[in-house]
Amino acid sequence: MSVTTQTIISLEADKLGSLEMKFANRTANVGIIGLGYVGLPLALLFTEAGFPVTGFDVDSQKVEKLSRGESYIYRVPSTEIQAARRKKFSATVNYSDIARMDAVIICVPTPLNEQREPDLSYITNTAEAITPHLRAGQLVVLESTTYPGTTEEVLVPILEKNAHGMRAQHESNGIEHDSFYVAFSPEREDPGNNIIARCDIPKVVGGLSRRATEIASLLYQAIFRRIVPVSTPAVAEMTKLLENIYRCVNIALVNELKLLSLRMGIDVWEVIDAASTKPFGFQPFYPGPGLGGHCIPVDPFYLSWKAKELDFQTRFIELAGEINVSMPYHVVTAISMALNNARKPLNGSRVLILGVSYKKDVDDLRESPALTIIELLKQRGAIVNYHDPYFPVLLKGRHYDLQMERVPLDNIGEYDCVAIITDHSDYDYTAIVREAQLVIDTRNATRGIDSPKVVRC
């Protein structure tokens, strides 16, 4: 992918500063903080583009695996790590190396706490850790999904407080000497999407100053085909929330319509297919057992929390969140009713959960509704096992402690009920229906299979 200075910025070649020149000729040292589902693929993109890249993570096990050329993310094969290491990629837990970086990109988690309020501790801890090593002329970009105002109200004050008198360049102060640049650029990862290349996803960039936007845009232009500059970090932050809340609200709508359709004896999946034939004004969304992943279940709560500071109630968004949060409870009720119709109580019944990741064909448990469903079933006395091709064990997580091991699929008929929670492509659904006593299908994975054993919910 060629790099020019004319597609999205107005700088002329003879006016480029030293930092911009490093970005343009790809000699800039790029540091990626947080080597998870967002940070690691981003680091590999920059490495492939020719940049020397250093990945930073507090998890020493991740760093050790990367140093051995091993991957810990299913969709990132170890061969990509090995190829990157043969180029200019390395990983470390040593934050003092931040001083060598020309650009520092923060890709740390922003989960919710137990009260479903924003937990910015990963951002604040990262800011505290890198601040002693910042130097003038560096670019710092936050990619972590968060509420509008985080970059300016949370990140920048920490960076400026301990940066030896240096300031972030603001539009108002115009300072160039002894300053660093700050921008926000939301990640737009779509795990499991093998159709759209990462480099083809437009990159939104909002800097603390116009110059910060230009500099950050030039950096990202090396790996993304299209850059979308916006006026402020807050606009970029709100852009990310809008994208995900749009999906959250529409999924809530179709989930509610599914519940109504079930009572009316209508196949909501057939309805969606029919509506999808309209060539304008309609985009299909699909129901399921609940929302998962880092963004869609979390982002509405981030915005609602921020809105309360402004004495504004986001009623529409909060209602959508309530509907989606309730879906695992609906699934458990459906399992209980189906067992009851088979003259079996839920208490004491053996239930096999198929798929625990939040989305098909990905190795990501974050906010997965399957975890809630397992916990609810256990609380009601069911004997629960699970199978997922991506997770041999379920250990202690941020909001769950299941301590379970994956079971094989060679004794499906021994379970009172098999519940399809994640519709992985690896499963042979025809064989599953044939061997099972009872199947609860939350994803329409058994579509086209006509059997009295199947209950779609």
- In tens, the pLDDT along 124-166 reads 999 999 999 999 999 999 999 999 999 999 999 999 987 677 8
In this structure, are residues 223 and 41 in contact, taking their beta carbons and an 8 Å threshold? no
Q: Is 293 left (phi over 0), alpha (psi -120 to 50) or beta?
A: left
Q: Is 457 a catalytic residue?
A: no
Model confidence pLDDT, tens digit, residues 86-109 = 999 999 999 999 999 999 999 999
Whether the per-residue pLDDT at 28 is higher than 80: the answer is yes
Q: What pLDDT is stored for residue 197 in this prediction?
A: 87
Model confidence pLDDT, tens digit, residues 382-401 = 999 999 999 999 987 666 77
What is the C-alpha to C-alpha distance for residues 414 and 349, in angstroms, rounded to an integer?
11
Residue 274: strand, helix, or coil: helix
What is the C-alpha to C-alpha distance for residues 434 and 448, in angstroms, rounded to an integer?
13
User: What are the structural domains, with CATH classification, of the chain?
Assistant: 13-231 (3.40.50.720), 245-456 (3.40.50.720)
b/e 131-154 (16+ beta carbons within 10 angstroms → b)? bebbeebbbbbbbbbbbbebbbeb
Of these residues, 107, 248, 295, 417, which one is catalytic? 295
What pairs with residue 136 in β-bridges? none
